[in-house]
Structure 1
């Protein structure tokens, strides 16, 4: 089975609840999911597991405060992650227009800059359409895992 590092950025708890549901359901299937609620760069550099980011978007398409230090360190220190697989789940509200799910775009860009390899398409979950994001996220993660090398 697969071992995954799950980095979470949450403002009001939706992304965190989604990440916890992902962990609960996938661990029942034999996968190992390690959640980092306030990730640090060492959480990334201390292992070579695939990375899954589950984040909400705040303000005008920004990374949430609990994920922001990790994001800034990743951009500043640029620890190379050549070929390391990653995926992104981002929660947002489409009524914000151009900034909808912007935190996911920022995280994707940061990981690509350090040489990581994106697996699958980013899952953007719109709060106006989906009241329980985990109902969409869990099946997406199952599919994402099947695409991992």
Structure 2
């Protein structure tokens, strides 16, 4: 079974609720899962757990305030994570056009810069089409975890 750290970014609670559902899904399958609501670099530099980012997108494709300090530290310090598996679940609204799910793109880019290894495709949950992101994420994560 895998050890997984879920890094959450949420403003109104949708991404956090999605992350909690994903944690429950993975835990029921026997995985060891940590849910980090305000992640820091120390949360990822003292272990080699798989990383799963579950975030909403704010403003013009930006990260939520609780995930932003982690992102900035990661980008500034670039602690190398060679081969570390990661995945992205991002909530957004396609009516924002080019910035749709931009927070997921930002996290993916910075994790690649640390030499982490992306597993599977990013799950982009469009608020214009999907009313229950938890259900979509729960289905997606069952496949994702098989690939790590």
Same fold (TM over 0.5): yes
1:7 aligned residue:
7
2:136 aligned residue:
136
1:109 aligned residue:
109
Distance of 1:46 and 1:15 partners within structure 2 = 25
* Of 26-35 and 70-79, the range deviating more from structure 2: 26-35
2:30 aligned residue:
30
Unaligned segments of structure 1, at least 5 residues: none
Distance of 1:33 and 1:68 partners within structure 2 = 22
Distance of 2:46 and 2:129 partners within structure 1 = 37
By how many angstroms is 1:28 displaced? 1.5
- Deviation per CA, 1:16-53: give whole Å up to 9, x if none: 00000111122122111100000001001111001000
Is the partner of 2:83 in helix, strand or coil?
A: coil
- Note the 1:74-89 alignment, pairs <5 A: 74-89=74-89
Runs of 4+ in 1 over 2 A off after TM superposition: none
By how many angstroms is 1:3 displaced? 1.2
TM-score of the superposed pair, with normalisation by structure 2:
0.98
TM-score of the superposed pair, with normalisation by structure 1:
0.98
State the aligned residue count: 148
Distance of 1:77 and 1:87 partners within structure 2 = 21
**CA RMSD, 1 decimal:** 0.6
